[in-house]
Homo-oligomer: A and B are copies of this chain.
Amino acid sequence: MSTFVLVHGSWHDGSAWKAVIQHLEAKGHQAFAPTIAGHGKGANKNVNHAQCTQSIVDYIVDKDLTDIVLLGHSFGGTIIAKVAEAISDRIRRLIFFDAFVVNDGDSLTDNIPPDSQALFDKLARESDDNTIMMLFDLWREAFINDADLELAKSSYAQLSSEPYQPLIDKLDLKQFYSLPIPKSYLYCTEDNALPQGEWGWHPRMSNRLGLFRFVQMPGGHEVMFSNPVGLAEKIIAAGRD
């Protein structure tokens, strides 16, 4: 039985994993879902990427979790790469789940299409607090395309604005790319949060991992809402030895 630590993506907090954790626990696993610093409703959004990373490191060390399978979703991929640098001895395997795997020296926004970069930059500048709020149409069509309208609305209501600084911080990942920790990439075949093809998650991001285990399932970017049981099954397959 495994110990999973699930790191959410942008606009989310740890509560996004509730239904997934229920199924992982029903299968006999342990699972934790910390909220990244600067994330969640009511949080102080004034954070950078290093603070985001540190909050997850602290969570794992405080709970003294060891031999963990550490999963990062979307933006969370950049977090688990840096967490792995900090506490590699606690990690059995990394799972990148429709997640950013950025090259050494790049930021997350270096890895999104130019029109998305421009949109994010505009939204951050127009905000009071250097954050980006998800637009409902984008959420419904490109993120949770596999859900009905009701679920699209109820899941959207759980989101909060995303701090912009962690998305533009340039990341030193030299150490990450030399770590011998086994890695998996879990990809949802209808995920269009990044447009498929030239700018897509897979194989662009996944192949940067070098040797990795490829696991795939149907669904969009938000299967923790639209198919939490199926996702939990695939997390187990991606996380086993």
Contacts and interface: CB of A to CB of B under 8 A. Distances in A.
A197 to B, nearest CB: 4
Number of copies: 3
A212 B148 contact: no
A211 B140 CA distance: 10
Interface residues of A, number: 33
A138 B211 CA distance: 7
Nearest to A115: B210
A213 B182 contact: no
A241 B149 contact: yes
Q: Which secondary structure dominates chain A's binding surface?
A: loop
A22 interface: no
Interface stretch (A12-20, A56-64, A188-196): A188-196
A146 B197 CA distance: 24
B197 A149 contact: no
17 contacts: A137-B211, A138-B211, A141-B212, A142-B211, A142-B213, A142-B214, A145-B213, A145-B215, A148-B240, A189-B189, A189-B216, A192-B214, A196-B203, A196-B214, A197-B204, A214-B220, A216-B218
Interface of A: 137-138, 140-142, 145-146, 148-149, 182, 189-190, 192, 195-197, 200, 202-204, 206-207, 211-216, 218, 220, 237, 240-241
Given A142-B214, A196-B206, 7 more contacts: A137-B211, A142-B211, A145-B214, A192-B212, A195-B207, A197-B204, A214-B220
B182 A141 contact: yes
A182 B149 CA distance: 14
Nearest to A138: B211
A190 B216 contact: yes
Given A190-B216, A195-B203, A203-B197, A149 B211 contact: no
